[in-house]
Every structure is written in structure tokens, then in C-alpha cells.
Chains A and B, each alone.
Chain A
Amino acid sequence: AQSVTQLGSHVSVSEGALVLLRCNYSSSVPPYLFWYVQYPNQGLQLLLKYTTGATLVKGINGFEAEFKKSETSFHLTKPSAHMSDAAEYFCAAELYKAAGNKLTFGGGTRVLVKP
């Protein structure tokens, strides 16, 4: 079955340390991929997206992600965590190209940033 999986429901990092959030997809065709961030009691804000072309994608707030077809992965990184990065992060994919761009989400990873 086509799906999106995020490894680790919770990640704790120290302020200034590397943030690494893992996302793998299962699809017969490489999908369009997205990372969204959600702050408490708010909707989802787009961090970055991969459609075609360059596999290293830069987003807002210093985040970037790399699409690796051979590993079916789209991991999110930020070199230096800031306290404001504490939030929940969702990886999402358009797995069904003909289906109106609907998104399939992973289960989310909650990031805690320690001072």
C-alpha cells in the first residue's frame, strides 16, 4: 500500500544542535513531497516542497530536505535548532497523481528544543 512513514514520533534536540527528521514513502512512482510544520492549535504551514529537478530543496526558517529516490526518503534537516523550532512536523506526499493533488501524511514528529 502507498504510504508515508515518519520515523520517531518525538525528537529532542539541544538549542544549536542539528535537527534531523526522517520521512520515507512507499509509492510505485516518485511522488511530490512536502514538509509542513504545525504549532499548537494552528493549521499546517508549508516548509518546503519537492516536485522535480534539484533533489536538495531549501525551505523557510533554515530548513532543507533531500529527495533520495534510491532510498525512497525525504529527510528534513536544520543545522542549528532554535527554540522557536519546537513544533510538530509532518511529511506529506501526493501519492495519487490523478487524484486532485490530495495529500497523504505521515504520523508526525514532535520536536522539543532544550535550552
Chain B
Amino acid sequence: DTGVSQDPRHKITKRGQNVTFRCDPISEHNRLYWYRQTLGQGPEFLTYFQNEAQLEKSRLLSDRFSAERPKGSFSTLEIQRTEQGDSAMYLCASSLPDQPQHFGDGTRLSIL
């Protein structure tokens, strides 16, 4: 069990640029989740996959956000035309169905 891995750990970008984050789940986990955590707050659910299927998206996930899990293994989260309000920690978690979620260390996004 190598844990959930996220890359990069920290991303600094200018407003209006596109960014992409990657998450590698624990290998046997078929569920993968994305959460967003702003400073001083608890994580908020964004979306989740079961295998390669994206089964739910939060209303927080505007049309500038897109997530994929093309082969049911790693996942990417892309933000287009970044805005100041996108500054946050983006957390990925994985699990087996009905088992606790295991979290990665997150990607901290800073918008200049």
C-alpha cells in the first residue's frame, strides 16, 4: 500500500491560466474522489468516480472544471481560466465501496 499520490504538491499560476492536477489512487481502489479545501474550512466534495465512470459532480464544479479517470486508475482535475477564488487545496481520496476513504497530501493551488 503506497498510499494516494498527488502531483504537483504546489502549483502557482497567473489568473486566467489553465492548470491540471494528477491523482494516483491506491491500486486496488475502484472509487476516487476529489475535494476542495479552502483556508480554515473543511474539505468540500467536488466529484467522484467508480472505475472510469464519473457518477456525481457537485454544483461547486463549474464548467471551468473537468475531471477524468480514463482507464479507471489515475485521475486528472483540470481548471480552465483560473480565478482568484480557485485558490485552495485540492484533495484526492480513494476507497473500496463502503470502506473509509484514504487521502493524498493534496495539491495547493495559488493564483497570482
Q: Which residues of A contact B (CB under 8 A)?
A: 4, 6, 9, 34, 36, 41-46, 49, 90, 92, 99-108
Name the distance in Å between A41's Cβ and chain B's nearest Cβ.
7
Measured between beta carbons, the chain B residues less than 8 angstroms from A90 are: 42-43
Residue pair A105, B43 in contact (C-beta under 8 Å): yes
Evaluate contact between B101 and A101: CB separation under 8 angstroms: yes
Tell me the number of A-to-B contacts counted with CB atoms below 8 Å: 61
Which of B43, B55, B95 is within 8 Å of A44, CB to CB?
A: B43
B91's contact among A4, A34, A44, by CB below 8 Å, is which? A44
Interface range, B side: 20 to 34
- Interface pair A108/B40, CB less than 8 Å apart: yes
Within the complex, the shortest CB–CB distance from B9 to chain A, in Å, comes to 8
Least Cβ–Cβ distance between B99 and chain A, in angstroms: 8
With a cutoff of 8 Å between Cβ atoms, the chain A residues found around residue B44 in the complex are 105
A103 touches B45 (CB 8 A): yes
Report yes or no: B42 in contact with A34, Cβ–Cβ below 8 A: no
Give Cα distance in the complex from A101 to B93, angstroms: 12
Per DSSP, chain B at the interface is: strand
- B31 / chain A contacts, CB cutoff of 8 Å: 100-101
Query: Please, how many angstroms separate the alpha-carbon atoms of A16 and B87 in the complex?
Result: 38
Q: Which of B35, B41, B101, B108 has the most CB of A within 10 A?
A: B101
B42–A108 CB distance below 8 A: yes
Contact A46 B56 (CB under 8 A): no
Nearest-neighbor residue (CB-CB) of A34 within chain B = B100
Within 87-105 of B, Cβ neighbours of A (below 8 Å) are at 91, 93, 95, 97-98, 100-105
Complex alpha-carbon distance, A89 and B20, angstroms:
28
Judging by beta carbons under 8 Å apart, are B42 and A43 in contact?
no
A90 to chain B, nearest CB (A): 5
